[in-house]
A and B are shown apart, each in its own frame.
Chain A
Amino acid sequence: MFPVRPDEPEYAKLPETTPPACNKYGKGIDLATDYPTLTGDSLRINGDTGIGENPNRYKQHGFYFTADNCIACHACESACSEKNDLPPHLAFRAVGYVEGGTWPSTKRVNVSMACNHCDDPVCLKGCPTRAYTKFAEYGAVLQDPNICFGCGYCTWVCPYNAPQLDPVKGQVEKCNMCVDRLEVGLKPACVSACLAGALDFGVIETTPENRHQTQTTIPGFPTPEITHPNIRFQLTQSLPREMTRADATPLRYVRDGQEQKYEPQVRIEEREREWGLKKLSTRENPLVLFTLASQAVVGAFLAMFLGPMVGLSELAPAAHPLVYPALLFALLGLETAALVVSTMHLGKPHRFYRAFNNLRYSPVAREVAGIAVFYNLLGAYTLLTTFPAAFAFLPPAWLAWLISAAGWGAVVAGPVALYFMHAIYRIPARPFWNHWQVLNSFFGSMFALGALTVALTYASVNFIQGKPFADLLAALAWPVFFGLALETIGLWFHARDLNRRGGEGAASHYEQTTTFGKTYTARNVALLCAIATSAALAAARPAGLTALWLWVGAALLILATSTVGRMLFYALVIPTTMPGAFFWRNKAFQEHAQKSGLAARPQTGVAMDAH
């Protein structure tokens, strides 16, 4: 048990309270009533089998934050770091702020934020490894870094930036509610260290002493509807109508005239349109390769398997007994490379198999399973069609059935895997991604890149062999056209909807048209050119060397468009996190520190990506 000091001050002790039956979201506070089988067990903190005697052990606890009192001294951060022995680049609790008004009447609201141990923890559902557990004890959402394999998906889905991906260790860690202190009746370390009485803790919906408000939101706090967080605020001072963030995110919070709620809006600044090419490269570059390659492989296999059934006899295995298996092996190689890259992108690649632990809830687990099934069926189809002699012990009818089953299985598994791949990005905490355009883009790339791969391979071989290929190219130009058109239509609606919705999504679009403005325009122009080219190639049916060169040109254009588009997709997203400060939790400062070498000094609090 956590050692209680004999002179422990009263303010560090949890008070005796009687909570109501339900919280503000209608969820029961007494977890022992909802989950009676989960009671009476030890939390086994550091191997200790003792059971705490806290009378409110099975009641949902939460933080209370009085913004009026917070002076941004960061004592809560220091106490948390000391208690959890955190390195300088990690903080489970952080103080950020929003400010507004004009001098001398300026106002600043400091917000200290850690994990809110939500009623509906999206990190728990999103984690593919099941590293998260919501305990009946105190309602704490705890994460086990020894299970985590460092994909960082929980850091994407959490609207409050609570889980922290340690780039050095390659694993996620987060606030543990100081459950060891709660077991002996003490408040968490951050609360006990608060100098100004801003931070308090207790059973949720029990207003602590010296407070009267229990609001569920505050300027800068993302909508509580996503996860039902267990934090309550008090803010009595009057604020200007508009508050802005101190970090580099182009967001401001504007008060609604009627409901008196602060809503995020884009902060328009005097910015020039730039290329932003250096900023295009992000930590997620392996995912750019993985998603595009997987979509191309699925699309190419669909074209090869279904093509002969819709009249493209040129694509039948018998028509090109050497090219067909060679292309299958090339696809297998490309998917292998994509899987290797995406696995090595994990903080702990050797734990990759844990990705299947949470098929019930996690879209990441479903995507990995879908791609694994497709990859294995593609391998089986390739093996069976290329080396039928190795299976001579089987009756010919059985072999034919096996080939057909593997092929049809891959035809179904591929698009299903891409559907799950898209579901990963439908995250309410990342409004730029949370749009049906993602599905359009992924299936569009499948059609365009897949058909392009098959068309170029067969056209090159036929050209070398002196055979005609104009009809095949004309037929395959249509899926290319369809895929590009699908993406373009989605992009148009995406931009329109982001601007209409406002908030973080509109801020991402603002970045898209300013920081990456020239790149964005160039990509759109290239996309339109690619559509026109593919339509022209389908209608004009050019032949010979001219046709081949035109297709190579179109392929380069489409490849560049797809790659830049996907890099923008990852670089532009602005999550619904809490506001940061000038140096802390400020993406612009982190980038500066990593580029300038400041990050090499631990006291800067920024780490180089090292895992």
Chain B
Amino acid sequence: MRKKFRRFVAGWTCPPKPVSAAEPALVRAVYFSLYRSTRQRRLRVAAGALLFLKHALRGALFSWPLYLLLVVGLLAPWPEAGWLLAIALPGLMVSLYILLKGVHDDYCQLVHGEVLRSTTLLTVLRPHR
């Protein structure tokens, strides 16, 4: 159980991407002071929000009929609504899992461990394979 929990947590943690140990201590110190600055933290939050928006819109493009099912399921009278919700709710959970995992994947690859610049922040929206 503990092993499974650890694996679950590890699945949602970005692998460490520290500045190379081979770099001089001064380079590493400058990197970390910059990476941990308030401005960089804000840029990372902004990049995360942009990634969330990108994945949410892309997900909605393909799976909007699922959300239609959910809306109709919430509006329809019982017991008919139960059938729709029985399909829509697990679908919604899978959709949310895919969304969060996708954002997490991109965040780890494009944002985590990187020193960001406000002028190039929108590049996280670019489709990358």
What is A's interface to B at a CB cutoff of 8 Å? Answer: 129-131, 144, 146-147, 326, 329-330, 332-337, 339-340, 343-344, 348-354, 357, 372, 375-376, 378-379, 382-383, 386
CB distance from B102 to the nearest CB of A (A): 4
- Looking at the complex, which one of A330, A350, A357, A382 makes contact with B102 (CB distance below 8 Å)? A350
Question: Contact at B98–A378, with CB atoms within 8 Å?
Answer: no
Q: Is B83 an interface residue (CB 8 A)?
A: yes
Residues on the A chain within 8 Å of B69, using CB: 329, 332-333, 336
Q: Is B72 an interface residue (CB 8 A)?
A: yes
Question: Contact at A349–B97, with CB atoms within 8 Å?
Answer: yes
For the complex, give the distance between the alpha carbons of A333 and B91 in Å. Answer: 9
Question: Contact at B68–A332, with CB atoms within 8 Å?
Answer: yes
For the complex, give the distance between the alpha carbons of A332 and B64 in Å. Answer: 11
Residues on the A chain within 8 Å of B18, using CB: none
Question: Contact at A333–B105, with CB atoms within 8 Å?
Answer: no
The interface size of chain B toward A, counting residues with CB under 8 Å, comes to 27
- Looking at the complex, which one of A146, A333, A336, A350 makes contact with B98 (CB distance below 8 Å)? A350
With A349-B101, A350-B98, A357-B129: A379-B68 Cβ-Cβ less than 8 Å:
yes
Question: Contact at B88–A333, with CB atoms within 8 Å?
Answer: yes
Question: Contact at B105–A351, with CB atoms within 8 Å?
Answer: yes
Residues on the A chain within 8 Å of B90, using CB: 340
A332-B65, A349-B97, A379-B68 given; name 13 further pairs at CB < 8 Å.
A129-B129, A130-B129, A330-B83, A333-B69, A336-B63, A336-B69, A339-B63, A348-B105, A349-B101, A350-B98, A350-B100, A379-B65, A383-B68
For the complex, give the distance between the alpha carbons of A353 and B66 in Å. Answer: 16
- Looking at the complex, which one of A147, A330, A337, A350 makes contact with B91 (CB distance below 8 Å)? A337
Residues on the B chain within 8 Å of A376, using CB: 62, 64-65
With A349-B97, A349-B101, A350-B98: A336-B62 Cβ-Cβ less than 8 Å:
no
Residues on the B chain within 8 Å of A340, using CB: 90-91, 94
For the complex, give the distance between the alpha carbons of A372 and B87 in Å. Answer: 18
Question: Contact at A349–B98, with CB atoms within 8 Å?
Answer: yes
CB distance from A358 to the nearest CB of B (A): 10
CB distance from A128 to the nearest CB of B (A): 11
With A351-B102, A353-B62: A382-B83 Cβ-Cβ less than 8 Å:
no
For the complex, give the distance between the alpha carbons of A457 and B98 in Å. Answer: 34
Quick one: closest B residue to A357, CB to CB?
Answer: B129
CB distance from A49 to the nearest CB of B (A): 15
For the complex, give the distance between the alpha carbons of A372 and B68 in Å. Answer: 15
CB distance from A389 to the nearest CB of B (A): 13
With A333-B83, A336-B91: A350-B105 Cβ-Cβ less than 8 Å:
yes
Q: Which of A130, A335, A379 has the most CB of B within 10 A?
A: A379
Residues on the B chain within 8 Å of A375, using CB: 65
Residues on the B chain within 8 Å of A330, using CB: 83
- Looking at the complex, which one of B72, B94, B102 makes contact with A329 (CB distance below 8 Å)? B72
From DSSP, what is the main secondary structure of chain A's interface residues? helix
Residues on the A chain within 8 Å of B109, using CB: 146
From DSSP, what is the main secondary structure of chain B's interface residues? helix
For the complex, give the distance between the alpha carbons of A559 and B12 in Å. Answer: 40
CB distance from A135 to the nearest CB of B (A): 16
Q: Is B58 an interface residue (CB 8 A)?
A: yes
Question: Contact at B97–A350, with CB atoms within 8 Å?
Answer: yes
> Could you name 12 residue pairs across A and B whose Cβ atoms are closer than 8 Å?
A146-B109, A329-B72, A329-B84, A333-B69, A336-B66, A348-B101, A349-B101, A350-B104, A350-B105, A353-B62, A375-B65, A379-B68
CB distance from A347 to the nearest CB of B (A): 12
For the complex, give the distance between the alpha carbons of A411 and B97 in Å. Answer: 32
What string of 1s and 0s marks CB contacts (under 8 Å) between B91-129 and chain A?
100100111111011000100000000000000000001
CB distance from B127 to the nearest CB of A (A): 9
Question: Contact at A354–B62, with CB atoms within 8 Å?
Answer: no
With A344-B94, A353-B58, A379-B64: A336-B87 Cβ-Cβ less than 8 Å:
yes
For the complex, give the distance between the alpha carbons of A375 and B66 in Å. Answer: 10
Q: Is B23 an interface residue (CB 8 A)?
A: no
Interface residues of B in 47-72 (CB under 8 A from A): 58, 62-66, 68-69, 72
For the complex, give the distance between the alpha carbons of A357 and B68 in Å. Answer: 27
For the complex, give the distance between the alpha carbons of A130 and B129 in Å. Answer: 8
For the complex, give the distance between the alpha carbons of A565 and B109 in Å. Answer: 43
CB distance from A50 to the nearest CB of B (A): 16
Question: Contact at B68–A382, with CB atoms within 8 Å?
Answer: yes
Residues on the A chain within 8 Å of B66, using CB: 336
Residues on the B chain within 8 Å of A147, using CB: 129
What string of 1s and 0s marks CB contacts (under 8 Å) between B25-37 and chain A?
0000000000000
CB distance from A584 to the nearest CB of B (A): 27
For the complex, give the distance between the alpha carbons of A245 and B63 in Å. Answer: 47
CB distance from B88 to the nearest CB of A (A): 7
Residues on the A chain within 8 Å of B104, using CB: 350
Quick one: closest B residue to A355, CB to CB?
Answer: B62
Residues on the B chain within 8 Å of A350, using CB: 97-102, 104-105
